[in-house]
Amino acid sequence: MATPLRVAALGECMVEIARRPDGSAALGFGGDTLNTAVYLARLGVAVDYVTALGDDPFSHDMLAAWAREGVGTGRVLQAPGRVAGLYAIVTDEAGERRFLYWRNEAPARDLFALPGSPALVEALEDYDLLYLSGISLAIWGAAGRAALYALADRVRARGGRVAFDSNWRPRLWADAGEARAAYDAMLARTDIALPGLGDERELYGDRDAEATFARIAGHGVQEIVLKLEKPGCVVAVGDTRVEVPAEPVAQVVDTTAAGDSFAAGYLAARLNGAAPEAAARAGHRLAAAVVQHRGAIIPREAMP
């Protein structure tokens, strides 16, 4: 029997406080790459989440929750005396959500600088796929990003691949120039890029999809899955491009984790040998199920 391909999803998961209409609050956990890791695990992929947590009760609760979902926790570093990052969701009368963050001292920011980091990096070199996002890049800072780039180079030198979801969040960066430099360095080490057309226009000023494809392909990326502003995506592998419309959804309830789940569906299908177009359809199918429920992680019985 062939050894299952191993995926490492890198990033940050935070404690989430969601304010209810009556003024009370619901407690949960949230993170873009963590959402993708959960859906990868549900789709049968061997995936480990790679981050750093504290030794506080919330950090322990996160580890237990991930383990229940089948996400590996053996690559999580813990920083004694520190606590996980936190954010709150406040919804106004019009239903618009606002996010408040307390994350500057979160251990995840020091993932590549903690005492256990050298051993962690060495272990990650043998994974088949590294997955991360623009949010991951933002939290690590220049020194952490340099360590990540070196890790990505070694993974690829050993035959592994790197997948990068742009997930642009302006407030996490000092300025757009810093973000562009980091994205460009990451794309130069990326095999599968999952950009969003709206993000690319805002960050790079791309006038259209053609400009985005040309720019990303110029970094040597062989597989580009461009998420469109209308429901759907365009998959480009080499000189071949195919537009794949999204699954029709009668009622969208919550778009949280739509992109995260799409990435999971796409990557899981590709890891299992599906062609890019079929993988995009798998991604759309999962995302269509996710947006019909509240929250990032849908009930298991709702999985397509």
- What radius of gyration, in Å, describes the C-alpha atoms of the chain? 18
Write down the pLDDT at residue 97: 66
Name the CATH superfamily for 6-12+31-83+107-302.
Answer: Ribokinase (3.40.1190.20)
Question: What stretches in the chain show pLDDT beneath 70?
Answer: 1-2, 91-97
Is the distance from CB of 95 to CB of 105 less than 8 angstroms? no
Q: d(Cα 11, Cα 133) in Å, to the nearest integer?
A: 7
Reported pTM: 0.95
Q: Whose structure tokens read 């993708």?
A: 36
Per annotation, catalytic residue among 32, 48, 191, 260: 260
Write down the pLDDT at residue 22: 81
Write down the pLDDT at residue 230: 86
Q: d(Cα 190, Cα 192) in Å, to the nearest integer?
A: 6
Q: Whose structure tokens read 């995926």?
A: 7
Judge whether 55 counts as a catalytic residue: no
Q: d(Cα 93, Cα 111) in Å, to the nearest integer?
A: 38
Write down the pLDDT at residue 134: 98
- Domain ranges for the chain: 6-12+31-83+107-302
- Residues 169-213: pLDDT tens digits? 999 999 999 999 999 999 999 999 999 999 999 999 999 999 999
Q: In the beta sheet, which residues pair with residue 162?
A: 130
Helix or strand holding residue 211 (H, E): helix 209-217
